[in-house]
Structure 1
Amino acid sequence: MTLRSKVKYNFVNGKIQQPDENDVNFPNWDRCNITISCWIMNSISASIQPSIFRFKTTYAMWKDLQGRFSKTDFSRISDIQEEIFSLKQGDLNISDYYTKMRILWDEFDDLRPVLECEYNQVPKGLNAVYAQTRSTIMMMDPIPPLEKVYATVAQYERHNILPSDTNEPTLAAFSSAKGPK
């Protein structure tokens, strides 16, 4: 995203190619190339940096990294799917459970090949107290994205599960109070 927001993505995808060193645009290209190279180097693991330091252009760096790391790892995809389907809320609060689920789905989305179908992202591992909320979400067409599912479950949790302040009057207290005679 940074490369696109800084209008530098065309350097790494090869659309902006290195001009001749005598070209009037070379100093500007070189400055951008060095800046992007630094961004890339600072964004990757220190153990990988020496293997791409030798490249003179960000395009060459990017192609090397893409060749090494953009392979579809079906074994890892299968492992992540299993983790997603077996993740249980247990003692986690909704926020922590959602965070774990979101991390798994993001990794899954990053690894899987582009497919035409959408995946059902309703967490199956929610505690039983959320069964009605989960059923309601499952009946929605289309099923909302995980962020909306989280918001719905968190709202249910806030209104129905979390302990309320015992000093606040409740609706029952108001309904049983006698009005003036």
Structure 2
Amino acid sequence: MSSPTKQEEKGKKADISLDLLRMQVIENPDVILVTNVLIGTNFLSWSQSMKIALRTKMKLGFITRSNPKPPENSEEYEQWIRTDSLVISWILNTISKDIILSFLYIDNAREPCLETEAKYGVSNGPLVYQLQREIASASQGTLSVSAYF
């Protein structure tokens, strides 16, 4: 069996790229992908839920940039913009109304993820230390664990 030519390989890559840009009828801007709305303090669980949901829709590449924006003169450009806008709407649908205003003026689907990570994904060292101290000093008196619970 002969190996595929460079032209055939290029065609396969184009097909894969177009598959990632293809939208199904049920994929519309009103879809809510995850039930836990981002309120800030739940960033880690929200982020993981969004990654899973976007991966199932084959749209995670718009966040990770493994599916980069094509050149403006390419035939995939308009479809990429439409699909990226769809991903933006899915993300915005899962952000609390209290904090959504800071995310409305974004240019691509990667931006809200970077902004939320910068705002809410940062570890709070003093709080972690305080909680660890409280856990370490917690006691149940003289009772055994089984008797206490």
TM-score (norm 1): 0.43
Residue of structure 2 equivalent to 1:146: none
Does residue 42 (structure 1) correspond to residue 93 (structure 2)? The answer is yes
User: Partner letter of residue 71 of structure 1?
Assistant: V
Q: Distance in 2 between matches of 1:14 and 1:41?
A: 18
Does residue 10 (structure 1) correspond to residue 29 (structure 2)? The answer is no
Does residue 31 (structure 1) correspond to residue 113 (structure 2)? The answer is no
Residue of structure 1 equivalent to 2:14: none
Q: Distance in 2 between matches of 1:85 and 1:25?
A: 60
Residue of structure 2 equivalent to 1:62: 113
Q: How does 1:98-137 map to 2 (within 5 A)?
A: 128=147
Deviation at 1:28, TM superposition (A): 2.4
TM-score (norm 2): 0.51
Q: Distance in 2 between matches of 1:27 and 1:87?
A: 62
Q: Distance in 1 between matches of 2:136 and 2:88?
A: 36
The count of residues paired between Structure 1 and Structure 2 equals 94
SS of the residue 1:2 aligns to: helix
Q: How big is each residue's C-alpha offset from its partner over 1:40-65, in whole Å with a ceiling of 9 and x where there is no partner?
A: 11212222211121111011222222
Q: Distance in 1 between matches of 2:129 and 2:146?
A: 24
User: Partner letter of residue 61 of structure 2?
Assistant: N
Residue of structure 2 equivalent to 1:103: none
User: Partner letter of residue 21 of structure 1?
Assistant: E
Q: Which has the larger radius of gyration?
A: 1
Q: Distance in 1 between matches of 2:87 and 2:122?
A: 23
Q: In structure 1, list runs of 5 or more residues that go unmatched.
A: 89-124, 131-181
User: Partner letter of residue 67 of structure 2?
Assistant: I
Q: Which has the higher contact order (CA 8 A, sep 6+)?
A: 2
Q: How big is each residue's C-alpha offset from its partner over 1:129-176, in whole Å with a ceiling of 9 and x where there is no partner?
A: 66xxxxxxxxxxxxxxxxxxxxxxxxxxxxxxxxxxxxxxxxxxxxxx
SS of the residue 1:45 aligns to: coil
Q: Distance in 2 between matches of 1:75 and 1:13?
A: 31
- Choose the corresponding residue for 1:51, options 90, 102, 116: 102
